[in-house]
């Protein structure tokens, strides 16, 4: 009896122990992994019954909770759930578009699947989650292995002590309920797709392993960077090879586990949109071996110009949501990203603004290969809770995860800290502090934000105080859609008192594919095309303009676009419809970019 009581106390305290903070291993897509993609059982849990306690309102796992993966058997103890008898859903994927009754579901949903694993001795094992929107709580064999907040960035939960040799089970509770202190907050103009929306896998690494690495080209033409080793001893050797450049570097770790490299390449072919050359890079630290494909280029600002490899560049862009073409839903596959970037290429784009959150790593990998420059953004969108410390911490965490994952992508030139945030001291301090963080984490890239254009009469003075913290000023404007008529655009005067490079990070208007009519009739393809033409006339009078990212490549689901017969739950500002039909404006932009590209 006493032994039982002790067992129960120990068992409960193990369950209640706070879960570890997840980490983030870079280049997971270059490591051997056991994929957990596929069918998972799921239980929809709007009342949070799965945490196991009916009397407490807090989400703490208890012995009756779903994390135990119990099974009810006739005559056995009372268990009021059973994953094995519950339906399945595909991972990666949002739940909203896989199950008709979950289209509008926002709340808690539990995922479960079994997996076989045979850990090798002296290794660390991680559960890798590419993204879980919005909050995730992960359990392996009933051990609470980690919690994570933020729906668009990857994380790795160490499961070394939880995973057994043989068949294991993993339970992940994902909750996409919106809340005021979240990032993003309760309002946005896109669908709040919930679930395990990106790949999930198990990754095993040696005792001492490379968890982070980065290499970049300096303005003086050297390749510099580091590899970071966790679990090693100070002074251990790390080597770095770039076979195609016949470069071999060697360094030893400092007391923080970091081995720094600086080498001078001969005959380097610089990465650019015209020549997206990637080099295979190999790092070796003891038993760990990690490869990456890295392009080398420089990016900087000089006055109001953006210089790529020392030469002024104009960014022929388009804004892109991570919406899956043809099927609507969160983009998650190779096919999704190659369709989206394929359309951008057809438009003669050399740039995409990936809105409004970090996209799947497939997107930045493919941009690297295709030679498309990238603006990558965190979901600090509209009016978040600027004075809330938790909100700041979550924004900072997402910034950190975005930078850490993609710091080695040559395509990524701009870290965007926010979108359309109304001016206030608290907001400027919040984003200004994020800018300091971003520069600290990655001194090699440019910092931007998409701001609301301050307009007075027909003059736009680009003086949002946030601009002081940025390298490149993004401004969104909707002349001809939310204000005035398309033909008003050319008579607008633009001033850039900060003398920084400017990107018009959004402009556009809605059109339903196939709806034709006079050019002054809203929602027709002709009206949308008219907006584009008039904008181009306006851009000619903006000497400091260094790029544009019209809104938006493809129609996307949005719960705030409800005009029946036209919007039907979609933001229709796409150049391409959700079914892949190209609208008139697509071809207008294509012509314009073809001219600029010459």
Q: In the complex, which residues of this chain contact ligand GCB (CB under 6 A)? A: 189, 356, 419-420, 476, 506, 551, 571, 573
User: Cα angle at 248 between 247 and 251, to 5 degrees?
Assistant: 135
CB of 356 to ligand GCB, least distance (A): 6
Q: Which is nearer to ligand GCB, 168 or 448 (CB)?
A: 448
Tell me the C-alpha distance between 524 and 434, whole Å: 41
Q: Which is nearer to ligand GCB, 168 or 476 (CB)?
A: 476
Q: Which is nearer to ligand GCB, 298 or 528 (CB)?
A: 528
CB of 214 to ligand GCB, least distance (A): 30
Tell me the C-alpha distance between 554 and 575, whole Å: 6
Q: Count CA within 13 A, CB hemisphere, residue 94.
A: 29
Q: Sheet containing 258-263: which strands, arranged edge to edge?
A: 209-217, 223-230, 258-263
Q: Sheet containing 200-206: which strands, arranged edge to edge?
A: 34-35, 200-206, 123-129, 155-158
Nearest Cα residue to 353 out of 368, 366, 372, 334: 372
CB of 330 to ligand GCB, least distance (A): 16
Instruction: Pull the structure tokens for residue 288.
Output: 């760990």
Dihedral sign, Cα of residue 308, residue 373, residue 214, residue 32 = negative
CB of 560 to ligand GCB, least distance (A): 9
Q: Which is nearer to ligand GCB, 478 or 544 (CB)?
A: 478
Q: Which is nearer to ligand GCB, 124 or 573 (CB)?
A: 573
Instruction: Pull the structure tokens for residue 570.
Output: 């979609």
Q: Is 88 helix (H, G, I), strand (E, B) or coil?
A: strand
CB of 434 to ligand GCB, least distance (A): 18
Q: What is the DSSP string of 134-187?
A: SEEEEEETTEEEEEEE-SSS-EEEE-TTT--SEEEEEEEEEE----TTSSS-S-
Name, in order, each residue with C-beta under 8 angstroms of 416's C-beta and a sequence gap of 6 or more. Answer: 353, 375, 376, 377, 378, 448, 449, 450, 474
Q: Which is nearer to ligand GCB, 192 or 214 (CB)?
A: 192
DSSP H/E element including 41: strand 38-44
CB of 320 to ligand GCB, least distance (A): 12
CB of 571 to ligand GCB, least distance (A): 5
Q: Which is nearer to ligand GCB, 398 or 418 (CB)?
A: 418
Instruction: Pull the structure tokens for residue 165.
Output: 């040799």
Q: Which is nearer to ligand GCB, 96 or 416 (CB)?
A: 416
CB of 338 to ligand GCB, least distance (A): 24
CB of 95 to ligand GCB, least distance (A): 23
Tell me the C-alpha distance between 570 and 557, whole Å: 4
DSSP 155: E
- Give me the residue whose beta carbon is nearest to ligand GCB: 189
β-bridge partners, 554: 576
Tell me the C-alpha distance between 431 and 467, whole Å: 10
CB of 551 to ligand GCB, least distance (A): 5
Tell me the C-alpha distance between 186 and 188, whole Å: 7
Is 372 within 8 Å of 328 (Cβ atoms)? no
Q: Which is nearer to ligand GCB, 9 or 560 (CB)?
A: 560
Q: Which is nearer to ligand GCB, 356 or 409 (CB)?
A: 356
Instruction: Pull the structure tokens for residue 479.
Output: 């002349």
């Amino acid at each position: 009896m006493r032994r039982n009581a002790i067992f129960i106390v120990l068992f409960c305290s193990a369950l209640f122990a706070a879960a570890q903070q997840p980490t983030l291993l870079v280049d997971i897509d270059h490591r051997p992994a056991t994929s957990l993609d596929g069918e998972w059982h799921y239980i929809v849990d709007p009342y949070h019954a799965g945490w196991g306690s009916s009397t407490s309102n807090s989400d703490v796992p208890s012995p009756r909770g779903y994390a135990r993966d119990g099974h009810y058997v006739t005559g056995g103890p009372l268990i009021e759930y059973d994953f094995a008898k519950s339906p399945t859903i595909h991972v990666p994927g949002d739940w909203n578009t896989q199950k008709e009754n979950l289209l509008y579901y926002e709340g808690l949903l539990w995922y479960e699947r079994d997996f076989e694993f045979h850990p090798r001795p002296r290794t660390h094992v991680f559960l890798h989650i590419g993204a879980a929107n919005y909050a995730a709580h992960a359990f392996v064999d009933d051990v609470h292995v980690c919690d994570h907040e933020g729906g668009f960035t990857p994380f790795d939960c160490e499961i070394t002590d939880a995973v057994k040799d043989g068949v294991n089970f993993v339970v992940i509770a994902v909750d996409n309920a919106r809340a005021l202190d979240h990032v993003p907050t309760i309002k946005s103009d896109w669908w709040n797709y919930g679930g395990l929306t990106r790949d999930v896998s198990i990754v095993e690494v040696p005792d001492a392993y490379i968890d982070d690495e980065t290499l970049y080209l300096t303005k003086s033409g050297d390749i510099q960077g580091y590899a970071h080793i966790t679990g090693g001893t100070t002074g251990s050797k790390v080597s770095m090879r770039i076979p195609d450049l016949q470069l071999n570097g060697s360094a030893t770790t400092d007391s923080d586990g970091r081995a720094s490299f600086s080498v001078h390449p001969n005959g380097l072919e610089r990465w650019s949109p015209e020549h997206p050359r990637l080099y295979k890079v190999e790092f070796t630290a003891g038993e760990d071996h990690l490869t990456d494909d890295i392009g080398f280029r420089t990016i900087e600002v000089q006055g109001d110009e953006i210089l790529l490899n020392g030469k002024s560049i104009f960014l022929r862009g388009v804004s892109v949501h991570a919406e899956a073409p043809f099927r609507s839903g969160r983009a998650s596959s190779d096919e999704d990203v190659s369709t989206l970037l394929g359309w951008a290429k057809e438009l003669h784009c050399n740039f995409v603004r990936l809105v409004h959150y970090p996209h799947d790593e497939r997107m930045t990998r493919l941009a690297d290969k295709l030679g498309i420059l990238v603006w990558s953004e965190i979901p600090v969108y509209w009016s978040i809770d600027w004075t809330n410390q938790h909100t700041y911490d979550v924004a900072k965490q997402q910034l950190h995860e975005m930078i850490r994952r993609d710091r080695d992508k040559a395509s990524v030139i701009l870290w965007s800290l926010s979108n359309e945030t109304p001016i206030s001291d608290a907001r400027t301090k919040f984003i200004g502090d994020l800018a300091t963080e971003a520069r600290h984490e990655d001194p090699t890239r440019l910092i931007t934000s998409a701001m609301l254009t301050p307009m007075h009469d027909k003059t736009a003075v680009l003086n949002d105080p946030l601009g002081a913290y940025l390298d490149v000023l993004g401004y969104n404007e909707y002349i001809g859609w939310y204000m005035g008529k398309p033909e008003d655009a050319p008579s607008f005067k633009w001033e850039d008192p900060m003398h920084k490079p400017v990107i018009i990070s959004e402009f556009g208007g809605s059109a339903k594919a196939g709806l034709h009519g006079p050019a002054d009739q809203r929602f027709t393809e002709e009206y949308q095309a008219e907006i584009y033409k008039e904008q181009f006339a306006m851009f000619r009078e903006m000497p400091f303009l260094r790029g544009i990212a019209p809104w938006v490549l493809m129609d996307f689901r949005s719960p705030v676009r409800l005009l029946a017969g036209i919007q039907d739950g979609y933001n229709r500002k796409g150049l391409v419809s959700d079914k892949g039909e190209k609208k008139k404006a697509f071809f207008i932009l294509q012509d314009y970019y073809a001219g600029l590209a010459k």
